[in-house]
């Protein structure tokens, strides 16, 4: 940093004033990429699988850029998955503190009573603690199964499945239909599209423009000062 090796991972960096390079190459800010993918059932939300099962990265190879998923969907769940190279945006959307809603439609293995649905609304006790109250709506009842819509503001591992199990049933089919105001719409399964600037803003983010190497010029000094904690060896990792 500024021509000297910085070994302190807690050192504060000013992107408008400090000159930062890695292996002799100036670090620049890439243009933000924000996509919505309709993840199919049977695809893992991971980069590489030791069992060589298909992953969501197989569906976005044509992008030619490294993206990280915003949260995860398990192997047997389909639906809306956001992916981006903007870690600040991803953290904002995924963090339970920001109350960004996630909406799912589930097919239960049994008919659910009004009492069971009310239990889901109030919150259930899971192994990792009680869940927050949820919005739950009965969509319809079939001869043997109830279909519900459930809206959560937290994203624990397999949360919808575990909640319905705690209520005395189990999930046969699960689809995430929206995150905040962003819906899948008529997007085909396995396909992706870019988010619009309006959609990014609706999720609490701001599209990140391409950056330039930082310098000590007067133009750089007049730029807005953005601070972040330097992460040890973080610049070269795919995370």
Q: Is the pTM of this model over 0.95?
A: no
Question: Over the range 52-61, which residues count as b (16 or more CB within 10 Å of their CB) and which as e?
Answer: eeebbbebbe
pLDDT over 90 percentage in the chain: 68
Looking at the DSSP bridge assignments, the partners of residue 55 are: 44
Q: Is 74 a catalytic residue?
A: yes
Half-sphere exposure of 234 (CA within 13 A, CB side): 11
The pLDDT, as a whole number, for residue 4 is 87
Contact criterion met (CB below 8 Å) for 11 and 231 = no
CATH code 3.30.70.580 region(s) in the chain: 30-95+186-209
- CATH fold group of domain 101-179: Alpha-Beta Plaits (3.30.70)
Per the structure block, which two tokens stand in for 78?
């389909």
How high is the mean pLDDT of the chain? 85
Identify the active-site residue in 74, 114, 141, 186.
74
CB-neighbour burial class of residue 89 (10 A; exposed 0-12, middle 13-18, buried 19+): buried
How do residues 146-167 score in pLDDT, each as one tens digit?
Answer: 999 999 999 899 999 999 999 9
- DSSP 8-state code for residue 89: H
Residue linked to tokens 């929206």:
178
CATH code 3.30.70.1560 region(s) in the chain: 101-179
| CATH number, domain 30-95+186-209 | 3.30.70.580
């Amino acid at each position: 940093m500024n021509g000297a090796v910085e070994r302190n991972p807690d050192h504060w960096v000013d992107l408008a004033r400090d000159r930062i390079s890695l292996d002799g190459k100036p670090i620049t800010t890439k243009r933000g990429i924000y996509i919505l993918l309709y993840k199919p059932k049977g695809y893992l939300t991971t980069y590489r699988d030791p069992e060589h099962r298909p992953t969501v990265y197989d569906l976005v190879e044509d992008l030619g850029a490294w993206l990280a998923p915003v949260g995860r969907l398990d192997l047997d769940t389909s639906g809306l998955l956001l992916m981006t190279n903007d870690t600040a945006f991803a953290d904002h959307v995924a963090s339970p503190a920001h109350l960004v809603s996630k909406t799912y439609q589930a097919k239960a293995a049994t008919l659910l009573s009004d009492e069971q649905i009310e239990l889901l609304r109030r919150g259930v006790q899971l192994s990792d603690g009680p869940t927050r109250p949820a919005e739950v709506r009965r969509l319809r009842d079939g001869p043997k199964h109830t279909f519900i819509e459930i809206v959560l503001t937290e994203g624990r591992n397999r949360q919808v499945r575990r909640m319905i199990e705690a209520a005395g049933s189990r999930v046969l089919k699960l689809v995430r239909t929206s995150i905040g105001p962003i819906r899948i719409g008529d997007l085909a399964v396995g396909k992706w599209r870019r988010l619009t600037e309006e959609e990014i803003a609706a999720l609490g983010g701001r599209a990140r423009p391409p950056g330039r190497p930082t310098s000590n010029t007067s133009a750089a000094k007049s730029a807005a000062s953005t601070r972040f904690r330097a992460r040890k060896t973080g610049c070269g990792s795919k995370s």
